Amino acid sequence: MIDNGLLVQMILGALLGLSVYLPMAAGQLSLATPAFYAVGGTLAALLSTQGDTPSAISLGAVLGEMLLAAGLTAALALLVGLPVLRLRGIYLAISTIALVEIVRVAILNLPFTGGATGIFGIPQPFQQPLGYVLFSGSLLALAGWLCQRLEASRLGRSMAAIRDDELASRCMGIHTTRVKLTAFVASAMLAGVTGVVAAHYLNTWNARQGSFDVAITTLAFVILGGSRSWLGPVIGGLLLTALPELLRPVGDLRLVLFGLVILLGPVFFPQGLITPALLERLGRWKP
């Protein structure tokens, strides 16, 4: 059922899930991921279709785009993050939804982004889907490794402290604004870089790629996978991206079933699939 093309989409989903997870690990419900994803994708689409486009592009050029996208999204996130991160809970969530919509309309209206049709004919760094699997897989491995390291680091512990109690953590001398901003910027960079890979994989890019729907779907990755460990959003992203495809045999009912999973998942697994208790048991398990 699963082919390499779907596997790429699943890995991209996991990366986006991680991007939503990072601010949440510091207690911030930010839904800005699709905005930065769209910025990254648009940047890659613009850069790689300049001049007379060859159908292939070197891996080095793609890495260059990723570097640029990371820089651009980091700068944007710094600019936006400072005012926005003063907001709490649902206010933060809605202001980041606003950001997503503003970016979407901007991409639709700007004179150089191809309007409704978008940018097409994006050159390919790989001839086979397997290339994308290896490339995005390495990116996921790197992001996962960093997250694993983060949990044990000073920054990671500060993030967890803010998530548990922001006021108390401030009293303990944690520079909360800086920690929250760091998480936000890291999330934006990850989304931007993912956008670059997605633009090449999708062959085309348009304003519809970073929409409110994406914000909610990626949030669902984190909630269903579990928001207490970086593995939660990864597994949530992999499973939920594959789900509509795996549900193809049920035909017209598949979106109804997909909705039921989102509806009932949190009811039965309020902490998500990957809970701290589960990880603890796994860690203590001796074969």
Partner 1 sequence: MLRSGGLSPTDPLAARRRGSARLATALAGALALLAYLSRSSDPAAQPVRQRGPLPLGAALALTGNANLYGQDQRMGISLAQGWLHNRPHHRAVELQLEDGASDEPSAIAAFNLLIRRGVIALIGPTLSQQAFAADPIAQRRGVPVVAASNTAKGIPQIGAFISRVSAQSSVIAPLSIDEALRREPGTRRVAVFFAQDDAYSTAETAIFQKVLAARGLTPVSIQRTQLADNDFQNPITAALQQRPQLVVISAQAVDGGNLIRQLRELGYRGQIVVGNGLNTPNIYPICQRWCDGVLIAQAYSPELNTPINRSFRSLFAEANNGRVPGQIAAQAWTAYQVLFEAIQRLQARGGFSGVTLAEARWRLLQELLSGRYNTPLGPIHFRADGEVVQGRFYVAQVRMDGTGRNGRFTLVRERELPEAKP
Partner 2 sequence: MIEALLQTLLNGAASGGVYALVALGYTLIFSVLGVINFAQGALFSLGGYLTYLFLGGKIGVNGALPGWGLPVGLPFWLALLVAALGSGAVGLLVERIAFAPLRRRGAEPLLSLITSLGAGVVLVNLLQLLMGAEGYAFPQGAAGLAHLPESLLIGGARIRTIQVLLLAISALAVAGLSLWLENSRSGKAMRAVAEDATTATLLGINSVAVVRLAFLLSGMLAGLGGGLIGMSVSLAGPYFGISYGLKGLAVLVLGGLGSVPGAIVGGLVMGLAEALIPAEASGWRDALAFAILFAVLVLRPSGLLGRRQLEKV
How many residues in the shown chain lie near partner 2 by CB under 8 A?
Answer: 43
State in angstroms the smallest separation of the CB of 151 from partner 2.
Answer: 20
CB 81 within 8 A of CB 35: no
Does the footprint of partner 2 cover residue 281 (CB under 8 A)?
A: no
State in angstroms the smallest separation of the CB of 73 from partner 2.
Answer: 18
Which of the stretches 14-22, 103-111, 138-146, 155-163 binds partner 2 when contact is defined by CB under 8 A? 103-111
State in angstroms the smallest separation of the CB of 28 from partner 1.
Answer: 17
Spatial separation of the C-alpha atoms in residues 42 and 66, rounded to whole Å: 12
Q: Tokens 């995005």 appear where?
A: 136
CA 10 to chain centre: 12
Which of the stretches 42-50, 79-87, 148-156, 242-250 binds partner 2 when contact is defined by CB under 8 A? 79-87
Closer to partner 1 by CB, 5 or 64: give it: 5
260 binds, options partner 2, partner 1, none, Cβ within 5 to 8 A by partner type: partner 2
| 160, 247, 261, 279: which one binds partner 2 (CB under 8 A) | 261
Q: What residue type is 272 in one-letter code?
A: G
CB 177 within 8 A of CB 85: yes
State in angstroms the smallest separation of the CB of 171 from partner 2.
Answer: 12
Spatial separation of the C-alpha atoms in residues 150 and 11, rounded to whole Å: 21
Longest dimension (CA), the chain: 61
Closer to partner 1 by CB, 83 or 287: give it: 287
29 binds, options partner 2, partner 1, none, Cβ within 5 to 8 A by partner type: partner 2
Closer to partner 2 by CB, 102 or 277: give it: 102
Q: Helix 89-109 vs helix 33-48: angle between axes, to the nearest 10 degrees? A: 20
State in angstroms the smallest separation of the CB of 13 from partner 1.
Answer: 9
Does the footprint of partner 2 cover residue 93 (CB under 8 A)?
A: yes
Closer to partner 1 by CB, 12 or 223: give it: 12
Q: Which residues contact 17 (CB under 8 A, 6 or more apart)?
A: 218, 221, 222, 225, 233, 234, 236, 237
CB 56 within 8 A of CB 123: yes
Residue 248, classed as helix, strand or coil, is helix
Q: What residue type is 215 in one-letter code?
A: A
Phi, psi of 172 (to 5 degrees): -80, 5
Chain residues binding partner 2 by CB under 8 A are: 29, 83-84, 86-88, 90-91, 93-95, 97-99, 101-102, 104-106, 108-109, 167, 212, 216, 219-220, 223-224, 252-253, 255-256, 258-267, 270
